Chain A
Amino acid sequence: ACGSNSTSGSSPSGTATGTGTGTAGASSLKVGMAYDVGGRGDHSFNDSAAAGLDEAEKKFGITPTEVTANSTDNDATRVQRLQQLAQNGNKAIVAVGFSYAAAVGKVAKQFPNVDFAIIDDASDASKGDNIDQITFTEQEGSFLAGVAAASTSKSGHIGFVGGVQNALIQKFQAGYQAGAKYVNPNVKIDVTYLTQPPDFSGFADPAKGKTAATGMFQNGADVVYAAAGKSGDGVFQAAKAAGAGHWAIGVDSDQALTADASVRDVILTSMVKGVNVGVFNFLTRVHDGTFKGGNTVYGLKDKGVYLSTTGGHIDGLKDKLAEVEAKITSGEIKVPSTV
């Protein structure tokens, strides 16, 4: 599925202002951002996309318009959102989240002169000459998280809390399980999902996250990976309450920096997903006039996904992780993307 048109993302700092056609102020690039439910400020997925936008704004001065999705959206509403952004003169439009897939596909056809990006989808529905399909190899990052978890665990028992049981989160689960088993074939892995689609409250229910993780800790697990949006906060609280030797792994951004200060020290590491990198690269290319449609896959290689090291809790595993990472990028380890 992925990798057909894989480009190595240029590192954010590599692009300098002024290399593009527009300069800040005078004819700044108008950018439309259509966020997923939660929007800017969600300290997670959407915020990561927003960070990419902010960076571009800082680097080469753009004029952003931001819109946030509603949980009761249908395809037509999403189409309308993108369409409206295009009609308002935005030249680059980023659709954050796979639910926009079909909508992007449709609207992009209607506005051939506008460049689009879709995060987390590479299906036929969102294919087009003016669409950048930005996807990530979450399973690879999660594989490393699994390695870190199984290596850190003293009990040989770890856990995974997924927010909502959909294909995307199952990708995290698949990689995590494979990674943990790679280190310790006998590792015991508890898996819980908080809700089922279309009930997305599992991404916003720390009470449930806490209950689930507490259960895992009490039953012997000592590392729990939270791929559960804001419900992850509950997982961190559970780890904190479980006491020393109990860890949580964060997701999407470096949560040891963004989570509530009181729980940061129990975050072993976070599986960072560089949505910001994808967004920034897309905007840079539009700005530079080098945009090309296709699927851009961000993986371990280009730091599209990686394990954060804040807190230094996994410093001891540095070598092991590097070794595994090399094996993955070389293809020696095949990471499954489904459970």
Chain B
Amino acid sequence: MNRWRRLGLNLAAPLLAIIVAVIVTSIILVLSGDPVGPVWKVFLSSPVEGAWARMLNDTAAFYLSGIAVAIGFRMNLFNIGVDGQYRVAAFAAAVLAGQAWLPGWLNVIAAILLAMLVGALWAGIAAVLKTARGVSEVISTIMLNAIATGLVAWLLTKVQADNAGSNSTGTKPIPESSHVPALPFLQTNISNIYGLSLLAVLIGLAYWFVVSRTRFGFDLRAAGQSDDAARASGIDVKRTAIIAMLLSGAVAGLVGLPALFGNDYQYGTTSQAGLGFTGIAVALIGRNHPVGVAFGAFLWAYLANQADSLQINAGVSVALVNIIQGIMVLAVVIAYELVRRLGVRMEQRQVAADLAAPSEPVGAQA
């Protein structure tokens, strides 16, 4: 199969997915008597002022979360626990930064390091349970998410700051000097791109580099593909699993930081929850590839940010966004599979065509 055809097929998959998602969603709209035209108009209309910045902020958070999940997937570990890991980590970082023991940027850096450490430790519990006691990480991370909720809620009562007249509780606010300035573009007076969103870019590059260029990355992928082959090749599979889980947790620890240092300045009961689960979907859409995950994160952020417009301008329940997101995930993978099958069939036909010329029956291409 030539290169151009393969490229065409690769582009066909996401396109097909989007078309399928649009068709299926439209059918649902028609069946339930909701307007179809206005809904798509909302999705295609340009977002409200400042929304681009917010979308990029969301993209960054989803991306970090997606990469955290992807690191696990690369090693065949299903880290459902990113959600708990980032919440514990963001809480710890907020507490530390709120103490203002260090000035300005040093405070930020210390908090980032602490967040990574705490995220890694929380994930490390699951890693140790898996390698030492054989507890499936699927179970342990589900449990640890819930435990994180209780633990943070309890610790929050110990450190909560006085916030007169408010019904939400939070950690002590981070001093002004440690607020991370916004990036110098897409700024409006109520929205901007959080400075620490750059962490997503850094992590993306680091992920790409480590996984595809380093020995550790090779070990990780090898162990993810085949335990047995990895072990026979000299890879310490348990150690690799622990490191992968720790790295996954460390990246998860960063998920909440851009918003913490760029907008919220404290961690509390109104801080965003559920980012870890979004990460799973995003990683899956992006097939654990650094660029693919970015695409998935942006798609997710875009859809999420149009949710309000959907209610306001089309009068349709926001749940539609969930439906579209879910269908999109499914459509993407089905489209890839269909395109793969198409490719196989095309190749087979080509072989048939070449039959006249005697061909070597070796070397099939998957």
Asked whether the complex places CB atoms of A and B closer than 8 A, the reply is: yes
- Kindly provide the distance from the CB of A132 to the nearest chain B CB, expressed in whole angstroms: 13
- Structural contact, A198 and B271, CB atoms closer than 8 A: yes
- Report A55-87 residues with CB < 8 Å from chain B CB: 65-68, 70-77, 79-81, 83-85, 87
- Structural contact, B318 and A70, CB atoms closer than 8 A: yes
CB neighbours of A74 from chain B (8 A):
58, 259, 271-272
CB neighbours of B167 from chain A (8 A):
98, 120-121, 166-168, 171
- Structural contact, A121 and B166, CB atoms closer than 8 A: yes
- Kindly provide the distance from the CB of A30 to the nearest chain B CB, expressed in whole angstroms: 12
- Given A66-B311, A197-B269, A80 and B165 touching (CB < 8 A)? no
- Structural contact, A107 and B312, CB atoms closer than 8 A: no
- Structural contact, B150 and A80, CB atoms closer than 8 A: no
- Structural contact, B58 and A76, CB atoms closer than 8 A: yes
Q: How far is the CA of A79 from the CA of B51 in the complex (A)?
A: 10
Q: How far is the CA of A102 from the CA of B265 in the complex (A)?
A: 11
CB neighbours of A1 from chain B (8 A):
164-165
Q: Does A133 contact B (CB under 8 A)?
A: yes
- Given A72-B273, A74-B259, A85-B312, A124 and B54 touching (CB < 8 A)? no
The residue on B at minimum CB distance from A193 is B153
- Kindly provide the distance from the CB of A164 to the nearest chain B CB, expressed in whole angstroms: 9
CB neighbours of B149 from chain A (8 A):
195-199
- Structural contact, A87 and B48, CB atoms closer than 8 A: yes
- Report A254-293 residues with CB < 8 Å from chain B CB: none
- Structural contact, A73 and B272, CB atoms closer than 8 A: yes
- Structural contact, A83 and B270, CB atoms closer than 8 A: no
CB neighbours of B26 from chain A (8 A):
none
Q: Does B136 contact A (CB under 8 A)?
A: no
- Structural contact, A67 and B312, CB atoms closer than 8 A: yes
CB neighbours of A84 from chain B (8 A):
48, 308-309, 312
Q: How far is the CA of A109 from the CA of B318 in the complex (A)?
A: 27
Q: How far is the CA of A171 from the CA of B54 in the complex (A)?
A: 34
Query: Of residues A76, A110, A120, A168, which shows the largest number of chain B Cβ atoms within 10 Å of its Cβ?
Result: A76
CB neighbours of A70 from chain B (8 A):
307, 318
Q: How far is the CA of A272 from the CA of B145 in the complex (A)?
A: 35
CB neighbours of B270 from chain A (8 A):
75, 98-99, 101-102
Q: How far is the CA of A198 from the CA of B274 in the complex (A)?
A: 9
Per-residue CB contact flags for chain B residues 121-147 toward chain A (1 = under 8 Å, else 0) read 000000000000000000000000010
Q: How far is the CA of A79 from the CA of B271 in the complex (A)?
A: 14
Q: How far is the CA of A130 from the CA of B154 in the complex (A)?
A: 36
- Structural contact, B189 and A110, CB atoms closer than 8 A: yes
- Structural contact, B166 and A165, CB atoms closer than 8 A: no
CB neighbours of A251 from chain B (8 A):
none
- Kindly provide the distance from the CB of A174 to the nearest chain B CB, expressed in whole angstroms: 13
Per-residue CB contact flags for chain B residues 147-172 toward chain A (1 = under 8 Å, else 0) read 00110111000000001111111000
Q: Does B57 contact A (CB under 8 A)?
A: yes
Per-residue CB contact flags for chain B residues 224-262 toward chain A (1 = under 8 Å, else 0) read 000000000000000000000000000000000001000
Q: How far is the CA of A66 from the CA of B273 in the complex (A)?
A: 24
Q: Does B34 contact A (CB under 8 A)?
A: no
29 pairs from A and B in contact (CB 8 Å cutoff):
A66-B311, A67-B312, A68-B318, A70-B307, A75-B263, A75-B272, A76-B54, A77-B305, A79-B54, A79-B191, A80-B50, A80-B51, A80-B54, A83-B50, A84-B312, A98-B167, A107-B190, A110-B190, A123-B166, A125-B166, A166-B167, A166-B168, A167-B166, A196-B149, A196-B154, A197-B269, A198-B149, A198-B271, A198-B274
Q: How far is the CA of A70 from the CA of B259 in the complex (A)?
A: 18
CB neighbours of A102 from chain B (8 A):
264, 270
Listed in ascending order, the chain A residues whose CB lies under 8 Å from chain B are 1-2, 65-68, 70-77, 79-81, 83-85, 87-88, 98-99, 101-102, 106-107, 109-110, 120-125, 133, 135, 165-168, 171, 195-199, 295
- Kindly provide the distance from the CB of B306 to the nearest chain A CB, expressed in whole angstroms: 10
- Given A80-B48, A83-B49, A101 and B312 touching (CB < 8 A)? no
- Structural contact, B190 and A79, CB atoms closer than 8 A: yes
Listed in ascending order, the chain B residues whose CB lies under 8 Å from chain A are 48-51, 54, 57-58, 87, 146, 149-150, 152-154, 163-169, 189-191, 259, 263-264, 269-275, 278, 304-305, 307-309, 311-312, 318
Q: How far is the CA of A98 from the CA of B271 in the complex (A)?
A: 12
Q: How far is the CA of A83 from the CA of B49 in the complex (A)?
A: 9
- Kindly provide the distance from the CB of A302 to the nearest chain B CB, expressed in whole angstroms: 19
CB neighbours of A99 from chain B (8 A):
168, 270
- Structural contact, A166 and B269, CB atoms closer than 8 A: yes
- Kindly provide the distance from the CB of A255 to the nearest chain B CB, expressed in whole angstroms: 22
CB neighbours of A196 from chain B (8 A):
149-150, 152-154
Sorted from nearest, which 8 A-B pairs have the closest CB atoms?
A122-B165, A123-B166, A198-B273, A74-B272, A196-B153, A168-B167, A98-B167, A72-B274
CB neighbours of A77 from chain B (8 A):
54, 304-305, 308
- Kindly provide the distance from the CB of A299 to the nearest chain B CB, expressed in whole angstroms: 15
- Structural contact, B308 and A67, CB atoms closer than 8 A: yes
- Structural contact, B272 and A83, CB atoms closer than 8 A: no
The residue on B at minimum CB distance from A74 is B272
Partner of A65, one of B163, B191, B278, B312: B312
Partner of A83, one of B48, B152, B263, B311: B48
- Structural contact, A76 and B57, CB atoms closer than 8 A: yes
Query: Of residues B150, B309, B312, which shows the largest number of chain A Cβ atoms within 10 Å of its Cβ?
Result: B312
CB neighbours of A199 from chain B (8 A):
146, 149, 273
The residue on A at minimum CB distance from B166 is A123
The residue on B at minimum CB distance from A100 is B270
Q: How far is the CA of A124 from the CA of B165 in the complex (A)?
A: 8
- Given A106-B190, A166-B269, A124 and B48 touching (CB < 8 A)? no
